[in-house]
Amino acid sequence: MKKIVLATGNPHKVEEFNRFFAERNFPVVLLSMREAGFSGELVEDADTFEGNAHCKALTVARATGMLCVADDSGLEVDALGGAPGVFSARYAGGHGDDEANIRKLLEELRDVPDDRRTARFVCAICAVKFDPNEVESTLLVRGTVEGKILRGKRGDGRFGYDPVFFYEPLGKTFAELDGTTKNAVSHRGRALENLLAEAEERNFFLNGE
């Protein structure tokens, strides 16, 4: 099995990525940064999801010498010019305060009519590796899912903006979907599908093994 490092400190994300590849019988296994021996800080100061994903993957790939995969994701709201975008996790100031972020989002959209509350979740995934001459090779993909922002929360799921993101094809918010259903239609799920397709076409993960 080809070992790849995932630029995250979140063990649940490592499990999610490994489950995705295992279900498709793709012969790779992802390690956490700690398992790969990386203990540094990851900087996310780019103005695009792709830029942040590339920066994280490049940092860890250089430090470990391993092929590295990283992702960055967030919410884009059309009526807000694409905000909160790369600032999704810290929209209200503090990082990861989901309740405060939702409150700010709904306040910003208070006077926006229902037909103009369109939005999308975006996930960019980047894979970076170096050849023996330290030449960088990069694979970069994106996955998106379209929806609308409701005027209040629905569902028990309490992750990010899921309770106010309404997915019209299923008539539910992301917080009302079970994990399997959400993963099948989510931005990260679609980005992972695109990653696997590109990686297989270019033999990106397995080349040289």
pLDDT tens, position by position, 149-207: 999 999 986 689 999 999 999 999 999 998 889 888 999 999 999 999 999 999 898 76
Q: Please give the model's pTM, rounded to 2 decimal places.
A: 0.92
What backbone torsions phi and psi does residue 122 show, to the nearest 5 degrees?
-125, 140
What's the pLDDT score for residue 118? 98
Q: Does domain 2-202 have CATH number 3.30.450.40?
A: no
Confidence grade of residue 70 (pLDDT, cut at 50, 70, 90): very high
Per-domain residue ranges of the chain: 2-202
72 part of the active site: yes
What's the pLDDT score for residue 209? 40
Of 73, 11, 18, nearest to 196 by C-alpha is 18
| 184 neighbors 124 (Cβ within 8 angstroms) | no
What's the pLDDT score for residue 93? 84
| 86 neighbors 34 (Cβ within 8 angstroms) | no
Q: Is the pLDDT confidence value at 131 over 90?
A: no
Cα–Cα distance, 48 to 25 (Å, whole number): 32
Query: What tens digit of pLDDT does each residue of 2-45 get?
Result: 999 999 988 888 988 998 999 899 999 999 999 999 988 898 89
Q: Kindly state the greatest CA–CA separation across the chain.
A: 57
Can you tell me which residue has the tokens 């996930």? 123
Q: How many residues does the chain have?
A: 209
> Residues 50-72: what's their mean pLDDT?
95
Of 31, 74, 16, 66, nearest to 50 by C-alpha is 74
Confidence grade of residue 130 (pLDDT, cut at 50, 70, 90): confident
In the chain, pLDDT over 90 holds for what percent of residues? 76
- Which residue of the set 47, 72, 98, 162 is catalytic? 72
Residues in Cβ contact with 195 at an 8 Å cutoff, skipping those fewer than 6 apart:
69, 125, 127, 139, 141
Query: What tens digit of pLDDT does each residue of 100-117 get?
Result: 999 999 999 999 999 999
Residues in Cβ contact with 73 at an 8 Å cutoff, skipping those fewer than 6 apart:
49, 88, 121, 122, 123, 124, 187, 188
Strand, coil or helix: 62:
helix
Q: In what order do the strands lie in the sheet with 136-149?
A: 28-31, 2-6, 68-77, 118-130, 136-149, 165-167, 172-173
Count Cβ atoms within 10 A of the Cβ of residue 12 and give its class: 0-12 exposed, 13-18 middle, 19 or more buried.
exposed
The mean pLDDT of the chain is 92
Neighbours of 106 (CB within 10 A): 15
Confidence grade of residue 1 (pLDDT, cut at 50, 70, 90): confident
| 194, containing H or E segment | helix 187-202
